[in-house]
Amino acid sequence: MSDYEFENSPAKNGNQAQLSWMARAQSFAQQIREFEWRTFLGLISVFAIAYFLPVGSARFDAAVQESLRLVKWYAQEHVLLCLIPAFFIAGAISVFVSQASVMRYLGPNANKWLAYGVASVAGTILAVCSCTVLPLFGGIYKMGAGLGPAVAFLYSGPAINVLAIAMTARVLGIEMGVARAIGAIVFSIAAGLAMHFLFRKEEQHKARLAAALPVCEVRRPLWQNVVFLGAQVGVLVFANWGRPDVTSGLWYAVYERKWLLASLSAVTLGVALWQWFGVSFRALVASAVAIACASAISPNKTEFPFVVGVVCLSLVIAFGTKELREWAGATWTFAKLIFPLLFAGVFVAGLLLGRPGHEGLIPNAWVENLVGGNSLRANLFAGVSGALMYFATLTEVPIIQGLLGSGMGKGPALALLLAGPALSLPSMLVLRALMGTKKMLAYVGIVVILATITGLLYGNLA
């Protein structure tokens, strides 16, 4: 067959048609691969949610109002006095505490008894909620602390609260208080050890890298950093000291003098900044005068002078020496990472579960029916519910008291006490950003499983 005959033959035309079809198919497949499917599905999801939004439904409208009230309450009660000081402390840890010190006491090569002991004690002293502890956890974790000790600190901060445990014993009975205290202490260490075991390969790699790190130059003695950070912790702890349910004793005496103790801590911080960090005495005097004027203008509203103090501190460090500017930058980094996730999480938690005494989309009757008795299901549901709900410090006790009155079993009550203060939906969102999805899910799973098992055992013994 000649070339002319082949070019015009049916076989040639068929081959060209087949090649043309294959080229079009490959081009279409390439376009499918290059298409932004995630963006497209996200837009479709947003549209579907908006289109089918049950606005006008009494339960939905009430749940939205409750979520907004919870966000407002969180902003008023926890951001100024709890979260902002925690951001400053986390930023200070990441800038002023040497990596060698963190590695020595909390690093992957540190003595395990020392590391877990320091982590548990540090968390106990702070006694903060599940959200306030997050910047502090992020600070020590980013500085190279081992995953196990860092997680022990993460759990112990909100869970091993001496005042909350004392209140539990007084309101719910000495038996429940003792069970909560023992369970929380064991949990902090068990959760840390479990996380270390699950991610031991990463921890071994981190340990090898830590051993190869050169010894960093220490800017100032350890005791100066301890005083500096201790003053900030004092402001955080005393400014948020809750009112006990008694009108006598040590806890009440501290409560009556909480602002005096917080002020003394702030003065100590100012002296440390002047003596050891290069802040001018004139700037500190101007800050003190501004805070005193704010206190005189608003003597009954402590938040106003506290805000003025925060603004003065921010200006002092933002326009100070190089290392003070680094502190300001680190504080801002933690704030912009954590703030949006926390508020989004609080809104969703309020939408689903409401506030204490007020329902969200999930009826309270469902929760009460599911946590009765001491079955595996009841304890597991209590652990999962506690992990999702947001408990401010000390609020878990009256909530569980009400649930016990509605038929909740003692085992699920303990499971909720052990999982609730240490976890929340907002904290999960932040933990995912700090240590990744896999570690966050592992930590949540460990806490829920430990809470379920402990509740089941306690319910059978009680």
Nearest to 71 by CA among 390, 430, 310, 305: 390
Range of the domain at 421: 352-461
Cβ atoms < 10 Å from Cβ of 77: 15
Of the ranges 29-43, 237-251, 367-381, 411-425, which is most confident?
411-425
Residue 197, burial from CB neighbour count under 10 angstroms (0-12, 13-18, 19+) = exposed
Residue 7, burial from CB neighbour count under 10 angstroms (0-12, 13-18, 19+) = exposed
Quote the distance between the C-alpha of residue 93 and its chain's center: 17
Q: Which pair of structure tokens corresponds to residue 204?
A: 């071994």
Comparing 380 with 185, which gets the higher pLDDT?
Answer: 380
pTM of the model: 0.73
Whether 112 contacts 151, CB under 8 Å: no
Does 454 map to a domain? yes
User: Taking every pair of C-alpha atoms in the chain, what is the biggest distance, in angstroms?
Assistant: 112
Does 362 map to a domain? yes
pLDDT at position 460, please? Answer: 85
Instruction: State yes or no: pLDDT of 365 exceeds 80.
Output: no
Does 378 map to a domain? yes
pLDDT at position 388, please? Answer: 84
Quote the distance between the C-alpha of residue 289 and its chain's center: 34
Q: CA end-to-end span of the chain, whole Å?
A: 98
| CA gap 46, 58 in Å, rounded | 22
The CA R_g of the chain, rounded to the nearest whole Å, is 28
Does 279 map to a domain? no
Instruction: State yes or no: pLDDT of 237 exceeds 60.
Output: yes
Does 168 map to a domain? no
Q: Which pair of structure tokens corresponds to residue 456?
A: 């089941």
Q: What's the whole-number mean pLDDT along residues 246-254?
A: 82
Does 409 map to a domain? yes
Comparing 165 with 24, which gets the higher pLDDT?
Answer: 165
| CA gap 413, 382 in Å, rounded | 7
Instruction: State yes or no: pLDDT of 418 exceeds 60.
Output: yes
Cross-strand partners of 398: none
Write the CB contacts of 110 (distance below 8 Å, at least 6 apart in sequence): 103, 104, 146, 149
Domain count along the chain: 1
Least confident of 179-188, 203-212, 345-354, 439-448: 203-212
pLDDT at position 6, please? Answer: 45
Does 244 map to a domain? no
Does 62 map to a domain? no
